[in-house]
Amino acid sequence: SSDVCSSDLSAKAGPHRFLWDLHYQPLNVPASYPIAAVYANTAPEPTSPWALPGTYTVRLSAGGKTLTQPLVVRMDPRVRTSAAALQQQFTLSLEAYEGRKKAMAAYDSLWMLRGAIAAALSGASEDQAKTLHELDSKAAALAGVPRRGRGGAPSAAGELKPFSQLQNEFAGIFGILEGADLPPTTQTQAALQSVRSAFRAADAALQQLRK
């Protein structure tokens, strides 16, 4: 079983209800809508996985007391996909979701590093400035910052995929996995394996850069 927490319920007397949309915590990214979206009447594209069918616990804390209630999530009876295949779909979707979150965090940390470098440049000697500029170039390449007047990431990153690209690739695979309640295809599994390996390589480069 898992925990399901509710929040922002009214404190006024009387019955209240909330809606759990059965997704994990959405990512903090701008909302994206399908091309056929109707203004104010279409939910944004999900950025987090569906919760698996199963038994969950709703926990409500108020006035120093905690109340719990079981909640059962059942699969749409029209879906004939096996529980094992749904579990595999969920596991891979969760990995793509977590991978995108980590790539986003790495991207943000590189911008913080570049900010620190810019601050250090003001009082740097000529030799120090040269070293700092080289470090900034590597950080920009690893983040995926396009060179002025040219598309794509700087070549200083070599064969490494920048974190901006890794975010997009994790998101694309996530969209495929969550597009239907079907067993993941071998092509999708292979694509996730490839992005997983690329992320490990980029993350190793980031750890080295931080040193």
**pLDDT for the residue numbered 7:** 52
Average pLDDT over residues 145-169: 70
| Distance separating alpha carbons of residues 102 and 163, to the nearest angstrom | 9
**pLDDT for the residue numbered 121:** 93
What mean pLDDT is reported for the chain?
89
Each residue of 12-67: pLDDT tens digit? 888 877 777 889 999 999 999 989 999 988 989 999 999 999 999 989 888 899 99
CA atoms within 13 A on the CB side of 101: 14
**pLDDT for the residue numbered 6:** 47
| Distance separating alpha carbons of residues 48 and 21, to the nearest angstrom | 11
**Of 98, 109, 76, which is closest to residue 25 (Cα–Cα)?**
98
pLDDT at 155 over 90: no
**pLDDT for the residue numbered 116:** 94
| Distance separating alpha carbons of residues 183 and 85, to the nearest angstrom | 5
Q: Provide the token pair at 2.
A: 């898992």
| Distance separating alpha carbons of residues 156 and 134, to the nearest angstrom | 10
**pLDDT for the residue numbered 9:** 67
